[in-house]
Structure 1
Amino acid sequence: MTFDTNETNEFEFIRQTAFTLGAKDARIIPACDVIVENRVPLKCRSGCVTYGKKLTCPPYVPTPDEFRKILGEYRYVLLVKFRSDAEVDPDVVRSIYKYWLDPDSPQEKKEKAEQFWKDYFSGSREILPVMLELEKAAFNAGYTLALALVNGSCRLCETCNVKGGLCVHPTMARMPEHAVGINMKKTAELAGMPITFPCTEHPEPMALLLID
């Protein structure tokens, strides 16, 4: 899809709002440049400790095939990059889940992994309200179907109401990008704002806003 300068200028206000709210970088890209792959949620099934435990994640959200159809109804997307204060230990981050969850992990590495996730989760909680503000700003500007997707699984509740089948924070909870199949690494690279992985100093979590 070729950029229409007039249309991207149309959304400059929302990009500037992202910077005002603390974003490290923000760019408008065509919705068709968002890379959706069926294999992405497979990582949720095979590598995520919260799989099936949150209503904003698989298997309770649109499949990649369903999301592709939804994405096709949007023109543009705002990609938003943040900076996490979590500090990366290169030796730990490459096996972060092992050191975090394995009770037999060396104590020093386990403590570093736990501290990393504590700091990362603390910072990532601040991403949701920012993205909700961006969604609201777009909505109030007339883009009533604007919708935010966030980085990482929902942390609004200690335990999600999966058994009850209904979210208790429906106006606030948002789906993670990867849950619906978005390959954020490829999408960010295509947009010219690549994600360094494995991260070296501080993680750079990303979120996106679908704009009608």
Structure 2
Amino acid sequence: MLKQNLKQLIHEAERLGASACAVISSKEIQVKDDLAALCNGEYTCPNYGLASSCPPFVKGPAEFRKWQSQSRYSITVKIELPASVMFSDERKSVMQLLHQIVAAVEQKAIKIGFGKSKAFAGGSCKELFCDDQEKCCVIAENRPCRHIEFARPSMSGFGIDVIQLMKSSGWSAQKANNANVSDKDAISWVAGLIILA
């Protein structure tokens, strides 16, 4: 039954547009306080404090470790894309798709019995879904999120080591950068995570 449920969740992610998915032991997820600190440390992320799903409004590594201790398996999701897309205006739609995929898998996981599952993606939901709004309504007005069906917290704010996550999934962690954008064969990727509980 477990194997069948995990297959269903992977099928859902692939159906929605994931390039690859993997089931990993939740113990393999590495969480590092210093990675979470990058959001508000010497390098302050431009999205810091703009959304309820980013620091300082998330509980960070300590909270993630609690969820991790209650979870046996997690699903990783990857979307591969040409580097030229990653460093263009099209990036936003790819990141939105990533959020939509992990959110849908999270909801399906809850429906089939993993009632405390949680999904994480990359990028700030404010930038991706509410760029046209002056402020996040959750922070500014204590109202429900405008895009609760899609928007998920960023892995960065919880200190999730995404490079290690890729390796645990059996994938290359190599990523094209802005320097090799002109190489038409250069491939980049974005990744998400659903912790099942």
Fold conserved (TM > 0.5)?
yes
Q: Once superposed, which parts of structure 1, at least 4 consecutive aligned residues long, lie more than 3 Å away?
A: 6-10, 197-200
- CA distance in 1 between partners of 2:120 and 2:160 (Å): 10
- CA distance in 1 between partners of 2:94 and 2:196 (Å): 25
TM-score by length of 1: 0.76
Measured after TM superposition, the shift of residue 69 of structure 1 is 1.4
Structure 1's unaligned 5+ residue stretches are 1-5, 89-114
Q: Would you say the 8 A contact 2:175–2:187 is kept in 1?
A: no
1:153 aligns with 2:124: yes
Structure 2's unaligned 5+ residue stretches are 181-185
The sequence identity of aligned pairs, in percent, is 23
Taking a change above 3 Å as real, the CA distance of residues 117 and 193 of structure 1, as seen in their structure-2 partners, is same
TM-score by length of 2: 0.82
Question: In the alignment, what sits opposite 1:82?
Answer: 79
1:63 aligns with 2:60: yes
Which structure's CA Rg is the greater one? 1
RMSD: 2.2
The correspondence for 1:133, drawn from 104, 128, 134, is 104
Question: In the alignment, what sits opposite 1:144?
Answer: 115
AA paired with 2:81?
S
Question: In the alignment, what sits opposite 2:93?
Answer: 122
How many residues are aligned here?
A: 181
AA paired with 1:169?
R
- CA distance in 2 between partners of 1:47 and 1:117 (Å): 22
Higher strand fraction: Structure 1 or Structure 2? 2
Q: What is the CA deviation profile of residues 73-110 of structure 1, one whole-angstrom value per residue up to 9, with x for unaligned ones?
A: 1111000001235507xxxxxxxxxxxxxxxxxxxxxx
Q: What is the CA deviation profile of residues 29-85 of structure 1, one whole-angstrom value per residue up to 9, with x for unaligned ones?
A: 011111100011222112411111111100100121221112111111000001235
Measured after TM superposition, the shift of residue 10 of structure 1 is 4.3
Q: Would you say the 8 A contact 1:152–1:176 is kept in 2?
A: yes
Matches within 5 A, 1:82-101: 82-85=79-82, 87=84
